[in-house]
Each structure stands twice: as C-alpha cells, then as structure tokens.
C-alpha cells in the first residue's frame, strides 16, 4: 500500500497567527495560459488572498487539453519563469512550483509515452494531476492511470467530486482509483456550492466519509476566495475534517 506524504493541517497556528494550510496543490494562478487568472495584477490579488488564508505557497496546474488549451511544457515553463521573476521583483514571497492539469485523452497518453510531463515531486513520488469529462464516463481513465504508474508517476484525480459517473457509482470508481494507487483531490469551493447543489452534496459526503486525500482551491479568480474558498474551509472545520495541503517540506524540486 502506498504511503501518503506529510500534510499540513488547518488549525495549526504559526507565529504570524494565521492558520497554517501548507502549499495549495491545485491552482490556475499562471496568468493568461488557460481559463484561470488572466492578468498579472489579478494574480497578485489572488496570491494576497491565499496568503491571508495562511497558504504558504502553491503548485500551479494550468490545463493541458488538446484543442482547448494547447499548452506544452516548454511554453508553460517560459510563462512560469517570467511570472516568478515578476513576483520576485515586486518583493512577493510565495513559493511556486509548476505542474499541470492533464485531460485524459490520447494526447496525454502520447505525452506519458515520451515522458514529456510536468509533475510535482512529493516525498520521492512524482505526482501528476489528471482530469476527466464531468458528465460522462472517461473511456481512457484506466489507460491513463495505468500508463502513469508504468512510467513511474502517481496519478492524482482532480476534483473527483465533479464527475457524474463517479457520483453514480462511487464504490466502483473509488475502488478503481485506489487500485491504481491514485490520490483523490477535491475542490474546497465545492463544499460551498461553487459547482451547484449536486456536486456540493457529493463533495460533502466524500468529506464526511474521509475519502479525500488532499483538498485544493482550484483557484481561477480572486473573487473565488471570499465567495467559495472561505466558506468551504469553514465547512471542513465544522465537520471535523481539516483541509490537507502539501507540507512545504514534502514538496521537492520546485521549478
């Protein structure tokens, strides 16, 4: 059985008095590359909001989805380096790591085959965030997870609460994910209704049952923080399921 890495739990008080939340694993903070943050000033607002909540850094996970967000490793690294340099010039201290959120399709399988993958290394494991279609079963879900594992990566299932096929057969799919050694990530805002009542209900059930390994903001816009992240975190506290984020000491090799 694979060992999960160290977590930083909500509620632990650091010297500055804010709850320590560790490093946010799933964000779209990199400006202008997908449907997330669009401008540098907007990114600075979002980072200020995350810092105010006690997050110590973030993993940037821009979409890589052929025909929709035609990003690649080289282009994203160029954007990332410029972004990080601008933050440093402005004196903003917020450690960042570049990874990606991959749509599970044939393009993803080819990228795995050629080992052209953005990942975050956690306690010696190489984590790769992957997503599926929300409204229908993903025909390549099993193939993509198996290919990742065979290539030495660990699959992380993005916002598992959103997938209708998972909510309709949760025992079957959670068992399949577990058998593949996958980590389950869910969005904090889903607990506050960000994606509607059906997703909210399933997210709350998964949270109550302790099925989620890591919670992330999946931040696309600064306004999301006050509207959905703050009440979502409060919900996790209320049911006694502290939000888990990456402990900065367990995330290695930041880009």
* 10 within a domain of the structure (yes/no): no
Could you give the CA distance from residue 220 to residue 92 in angstroms, rounded to a whole number?
Answer: 19
The pLDDT value given to residue 244:
61
- Is 130 a member of any domain? yes
Range of the domain at 95: 21-252
Please write the tens of the pLDDT for every residue from 87-109. Answer: 999 999 999 999 999 999 999 99
Planar angle of CA 25, 31, 33, nearest 5 degrees: 90
Q: Name the packing angle between helices 170-179 and 141-150 (round to 10°).
A: 20
Angstrom distance (rounded) from CA 134 to CA 103: 11
Residue 81 lies in a domain: yes
pLDDT tens digits for range 26-83: 999 999 999 999 999 999 999 999 999 999 999 999 999 999 999 999 999 999 999 9
Residue among 184, 136, 192, 128 nearest 161 (CA): 184
Residue with the larger pLDDT of the pair 110 and 14? 110
Total count of domains within the chain: 1
What pLDDT was estimated at residue 56?
Answer: 93
CATH number for the domain that contains residue 195: 3.20.20.140
Is residue 173 included in any domain, yes or no? yes
Per-residue pLDDT band at 251 (split at 50, 70, 90): low
In a domain, 9, yes or no: no
CB-based burial label for 52 (10 Å; 0-12, 13-18, 19+): exposed
Q: In the chain, what percentage of residues exceed pLDDT 90? A: 82
- Domain for residue 13, yes or no? no
* Residue 75 counted as domain residue: yes
Q: In angstroms, rounded to a whole number, what is the distance separating the alpha carbons of residues 96 and 80?
A: 9
């Amino acid at each position: 059985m694979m060992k999960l890495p160290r977590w930083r739990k909500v509620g632990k008080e650091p010297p500055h008095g804010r709850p320590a939340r560790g490093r946010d694993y799933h964000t779209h903070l990199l400006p202008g590359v997908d449907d997330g943050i669009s401008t540098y000033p907007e990114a600075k607002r979002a980072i200020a909001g995350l810092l105010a909540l006690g997050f110590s850094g973030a993993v940037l996970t821009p979409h890589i989805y052929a025909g929709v967000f035609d990003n690649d490793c080289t282009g994203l690294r160029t954007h990332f380096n410029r972004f990080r340099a601008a933050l440093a010039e402005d004196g903003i201290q917020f450690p960042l790591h570049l990874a990606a959120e991959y749509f599970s399709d044939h393009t993803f399988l080819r990228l795995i085959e050629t080992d052209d993958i953005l990942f975050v290394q956690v306690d010696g494991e190489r984590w790769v965030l992957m997503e599926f279609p929300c409204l229908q079963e993903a025909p390549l879900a099993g193939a993509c997870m198996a290919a990742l594992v065979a290539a030495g990566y660990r699959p992380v299932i993005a916002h598992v609460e959103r997938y209708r096929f998972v909510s309709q057969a949760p025992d079957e799919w959670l068992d399949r994910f577990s058998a593949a050694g996958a980590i389950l990530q869910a969005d904090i805002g889903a607990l506050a209704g960000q994606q509607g009542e059906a997703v909210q209900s399933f997210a709350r059930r998964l949270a109550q049952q302790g099925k989620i390994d890591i919670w992330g903001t999946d931040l696309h816009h600064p306004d999301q923080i006050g509207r959905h992240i703050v009440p979502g975190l409060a919900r996790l506290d209320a049911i006694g399921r502290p939000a888990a984020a990456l402990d900065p000491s367990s995330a290695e090799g930041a880009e």
